[in-house]
A and B are shown apart, each in its own frame.
Chain A
Amino acid sequence: DIQLTQSPSFLSASVGDRVTITCRASQGISSYLAWYQQKPGKAPKLLIYAASTLQSGVPSRFSGGGSGTEFTLTISSLQPEDFATYYCQQLNSPQTFGGGTKVEIK
């Protein structure tokens, strides 16, 4: 199975900050990577697919990049509603998820 390692696992930031989360794959996955946001008690929400394509309806402050084994999710200006846990997912079979990055208010 392809392992995904997210860093950091925990991030403390302020409203307005630029935040970047990294996801590293144990082997190349081309651009078959998605990013999700999950709030407590809720299902994950798709933010980015194909590594860098913004899902319809997702604010443009979210952006994704990378290919192969290293990927990033960037929030250009953190908003109060962005405090949540973020997961990456690779779509080769078997699909796997990263361990998550919890973004909390500083």
Chain B
Amino acid sequence: QVQLQESGPGLVKPSETLSLTCTVSGGSISSYYWSWIRQPPGKGLEWIGYIYYSGSTNYNPSLKSRVTISVDMSKNQFSLKMSSVTAADTAVYYCARAANYDFWSGYDYWGQGTLVTVSS
């Protein structure tokens, strides 16, 4: 059974960089697309971007200037870095696997989510 687990600081100061890692267990990171998706408290979902296991990426244009997603196949992990954060970036951050080896079929496995609060 594939499992995803987010890890990283739960509190980040304004203007600093948010860094999260998603560790994939029970399956290989190969051959799939992997995404980061966030949800501000009490609000809806926002797609941040995805990375293919080979390293190619696609970002939400609204966040593209501040976001980098990378993959480490040796550790079966992928990561998110978001720079210059503000209070508006406070959210539960989810990592997720795209279903069916493509990015057209939604996300079939999700991490439990990690709350990141931006505050001084």
Q: Do A and B bind each other?
A: yes
How many A-B contacts if CB must be within 8 Å?
A: 60
Q: For the complex formed, measure the closest distance between the CB of B111 and the CB atoms of chain A, giving whole angstroms.
A: 7
Q: Looking at the complex, which of A10-18, A73-81, A86-94 is the stretch in contact with chain B? A: A86-94
A43-B112, A55-B99 known; A94 and B94 CB under 8 Å?
Answer: no
Whether B47 contacts A95 by the Cβ 8 Å rule is: yes
B108 touches A46 (CB 8 A): yes
Per-position contact with A for B28-46: 1 when CB-CB < 8 Å, else 0? Answer: 0000000000000000111
**Contact yes or no, B104 A93, CB < 8 A:** no
> By DSSP majority rule, is chain A's interface helix, strand, loop, or mixed?
loop
Asked if A97 contacts B99 (CB within 8 A), the reply is no
CB contact under 8 A between A97 and B105, given known A43-B94, A46-B99, A55-B99: no
Known: A36-B106, A46-B107, A49-B104. 20 other contacts (CB 8 A): A1-B61, A1-B62, A34-B105, A34-B106, A34-B107, A42-B112, A43-B110, A43-B111, A43-B112, A43-B113, A44-B94, A44-B107, A46-B99, A49-B99, A55-B99, A87-B45, A91-B105, A97-B46, A99-B44, A100-B44
What 6 A-B pairs have minimum CB-CB distances, sorted nearest first?
A34-B106, A43-B110, A95-B47, A97-B45, A49-B105, A49-B106
